[in-house]
Amino acid sequence: MSFFTSLSGLRGAQTELATVSNNVANVGTTGFKRSRVNFGDIMPPSQSSPGLGTQVQSISQQFTQGGFELSNRSLDLAISGNGFFMSRSESNGGQLLFSRNGALAMNAQRFLVDSSGGYMQVLPVDSAGATSATGVGAATSLQLPTTSGEPRATAQLSLVANLPRTVDRPALRSAYSPSYPYQFSPTDPNSYNFSQQTRVFDSTGRAIPATIYFVNETSTTAGDPADSWTARVYIGGQSATSTPINLAFGSNGMLTSPTGAVALDQLMPPGASSPLDISLTFSAGTQVNGGAFTVSGITQDGISPAALSDFSIGSDGLITANFADGTTQFLGRLALAEFTNPDGLKRQGDARWTATNDSGVPLLGTAGEAGLGDIRTGMLEQANVDLTEELVALISAQRNFQANAKALDTANQMTQSVINLRS
């Protein structure tokens, strides 16, 4: 029986050696948790029996806190305290996976994923950033938006300008003659005095260039009885004023006509998603005066969705998107999970685990609540492996193996001696 007793000791020592070796091999694995072998003796057949050796009861994982490594990368996260990050193997479902490895990234479809490509799970939040639903069923994969806000086509264009008195009339310029009469053209700078560029938006928020051209028709400084100008609008290279807009001014130089919005021609510029129907208003303040041509204000009511500039993750797991127009939007809150018996989790490799009957169902929450830890940005949790402790355990396992091998050799010698007596 001593042969089998020593053999059980050899097997146990070999298991411990393999476990310690695995701990040492993963000392650089982010979020790794060391394992420990738990032994128990084999029940003897009677009270007078010394025992039948040892057996491995379990290999338990030690979910103690690992140290933190500073990375200064905004998508590197570490949990300070209890909890696991939760991800799924597929964006719209799949196996639930749990990890302490917070080295996150964005994939080609703009989903937030972990280092193994799992889709990080977040809980929904309201406009104030408060969690609006809890539980595994409420958690979803997070796909970052590219823009914010609903687009709106331009309907109103408004302009305030100063048109100087002391300018010539393009129709009288030397570039024109009876053989080459004056005719306005946006490609001929001689045919107008000034131009102002802006942009308008179609129903999808696509920006379309627009230009307003001003032509001096009559001027009191040139001996004419009144100041008058014409304005022409081109949008996307197409004329929106088949009939020029006549601008008249009073003796004080202030605009007297038109007094309201002027409907531009409806048109469909190249690339536009739908026809544009825009009105132009020359706001109060438009005048003929001295000095240079200036535009003190030009506005339009169209909206183009703002592009995403970046996003951040707070210590409470709240994910905030920042857009180019200065607006922000709360996208969700990282889901953290806890278990009544973490030792019952099943290892899946890459420092990830799945729930089992022994671990219990995941208890979902958010960082800093219900006993869950906080999230530290720009850090990663190191493996909780102490090399000094592991090397001591390695020596102990080696001595244990040698001792059991020696006991086996002694039993063999005693058996050999008995055999020699018979011969």
| Each residue's pLDDT tens digit, 199-225 | 999 998 889 999 999 999 988 777 787
Cβ(194)–Cβ(214) below 8 Å: yes
| Each residue's pLDDT tens digit, 71-114 | 988 899 999 999 999 999 998 888 999 999 999 999 999 999 99
Q: What is the pLDDT of residue 4?
A: 67
Q: What is the pLDDT of residue 398?
A: 74
Secondary-structure class of domain 156-300 per CATH: mainly beta
Q: What is the DSSP string of 132-183?
A: ---SGGG-EE-B--SEES--B---EEEEEEEEESS---GGGSTT-BTTB---
The whole-chain average pLDDT of the chain stands at 88
Rounded mean pLDDT of 122-131? 92
Cβ(133)–Cβ(121) below 8 Å: no
The CA distances from residue 32 to 80, 350, 383, 384, in Å, are 15, 8, 5, 7
Q: What is the pLDDT of residue 39?
A: 77
Q: d(Cα 261, Cα 125) in Å, to the nearest integer?
A: 43
Smallest CA-to-CA distance from 257 within 222, 234, 228 is with 228
Q: Reply yes or no on whether the pLDDT at 118 is more than 90.
A: yes
What is the 3-class SS of 272-290, one letter each residue? CCCCECCEEEECCCCEEEC
Burial zone of 258 (CB within 10 Å; 0-12 exposed, 13-18 middle, 19+ buried): middle
Cβ(99)–Cβ(85) below 8 Å: yes
| Each residue's pLDDT tens digit, 157-189 | 999 999 998 888 999 999 999 999 999 999 999
The helix (H) or strand (E) run that includes residue 185 is none
Q: What is the pLDDT of residue 51?
A: 62
Cβ(99)–Cβ(31) below 8 Å: yes
Which residues have C-beta within 8 Å of that of residue 32, sequence separation ≥ 6?
A: 26, 66, 351, 383, 384, 385
Cβ(194)–Cβ(163) below 8 Å: yes
Q: d(Cα 263, Cα 211) in Å, to the nearest integer?
A: 16
Top-confidence residue, 15 or 384: 384
Residue carrying the six token digits 């799924």: 88
Cβ(335)–Cβ(123) below 8 Å: yes
CA 89 to chain centre: 18
Q: Reply yes or no on whether the pLDDT at 358 is more than 80.
A: yes
Torsion angle, CA of 230/235/241/247, rounded to 10 degrees?
Answer: -30
Q: Reply yes or no on whether the pLDDT at 417 is more than 70.
A: no
Which residues have C-beta within 8 Å of that of residue 327, sequence separation ≥ 6?
A: 148, 149, 306
- Every domain of the chain and the residues it spans: 2-64+384-422, 73-145+307-381, 156-300
Of the candidate ranges 51-55, 242-246, 359-363, 389-393, the one whose mean pLDDT is the lowest: 51-55
Q: What is the pLDDT of residue 422?
A: 58
Residue carrying the six token digits 């000094």: 388
Q: What is the pLDDT of residue 356?
A: 94
Neighbours of 254 (CB within 10 A): 13
Rounded mean pLDDT of 13-38? 87
What secondary structure letter does DSSP report for 45?
A: S
Q: What is the pLDDT of residue 223?
A: 78
Smallest CA-to-CA distance from 161 within 347, 69, 289 is with 289
- E strands in 202-263: 207-218, 227-235, 238-239, 245-249, 255-257, 262-263
Q: What percent of the chain has pLDDT over 90?
A: 56
Cross-strand bridge partners of residue 131: 125
| Each residue's pLDDT tens digit, 287-346 | 888 789 999 999 999 988 888 888 999 999 999 999 887 889 999 999 999 999 999 999
Residue carrying the six token digits 């738990």: 38
